[in-house]
A and B are shown apart, each in its own frame.
Chain A
Amino acid sequence: MTPVPIPAGRVKTLKIDGRDVSGYENQTILEIARENNIHIPTLCNLEGLDDIGACRLCLVEIKGLARLLPACVTRVQEGMEVLTDTERLRRHRRMVIELLLSERNHVCAVCVSNGHCELQSLAQTLGVNHVHVPYRYPRMAVDATHGRFGVDHNRCILCTRCVRVCDQIEGAHTWDVAGRGVEAMIISDLKQDWGASATCTSCGKCVQVCPTGALFVKGKAVGEMTKQREFLPYLTLMREGEK
Chain B
Amino acid sequence: MPEENGPIIEVKDLVVKYGDRTVLDNINFHVNRGETFVILGGSGCGKSTLLKNLVGLMRPHSGHILINGQDITEMTDVERVEVRKKLGMCFQASALFNSMSIGDNVALPLREHTKLEESTIDIMTKIKLELVGLGGFENYLPAELSGGMKKRAGLARAMAMDPEVIFYDEPSAGLDPIVAAGLDALIRKMQSTFNLTSIVVTHEMASVKLIADRVLMLLAGKVVGYGKLEEIEGSEHPFVKQFFDRRPDDESDNRDDYIKSLTGQDDD
> Are A and B interaction partners?
no
